[in-house]
């Protein structure tokens, strides 16, 4: 007598839909285009590297909001949004760098 799986008592796979979407997006070149472009502009190019160093030193590290200002709370929110664009570029550079390293280890 063969034992078969009973679908009524099998645990539900709550991540099934997420896994399907991740697998569908894994090799979509349109998603990697921005990462690759940021990597080539700001990591492979000496002027791009210098630009990112200046952005890091002038905009990401120092506080852009004046603490003594009456509208400090609004300026802090604005400054974080301003910095977020540069953080996204850095994340794209790091993401593509990791992708290159991962593909090299295969």
46-75 pLDDT, tens digit per residue, is: 999 999 999 999 999 999 999 999 999 999
- Give the DSSP letter of residue 35: H
- Predicted pLDDT of residue 2: 75
pLDDT at 106: 58
Helices (H), 9-105: 16-25, 29-42, 46-55, 72-104
Is residue 25 scored above 80 in pLDDT?
no
Whole-number Å distance between alpha carbons of 100 and 92? 12
Residue 49 makes CB contacts below 8 A (sequence gap 6+) with: 42, 43
With a pLDDT cut of 70, the percent of the chain lying above it is: 98
């Amino acid at each position: 007598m063969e034992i078969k799986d009973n679908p009524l008592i099998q645990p539900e796979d709550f991540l099934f839909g997420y896994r399907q979407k991740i697998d569908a997006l894994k090799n979509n070149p349109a998603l990697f285009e921005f990462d690759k472009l940021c990597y080539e502009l700001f990591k492979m190019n000496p002027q791009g590297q210098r630009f990112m160093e200046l952005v890091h030193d002038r905009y990401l590290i120092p506080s852009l909001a004046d603490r003594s200002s009456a509208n400090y709370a609004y300026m802090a929110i604005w400054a974080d949004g301003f910095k977020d664009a540069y953080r996204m570029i850095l994340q794209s550079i790091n993401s593509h760098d990791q992708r290159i390293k991962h593909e090299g280890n295969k």
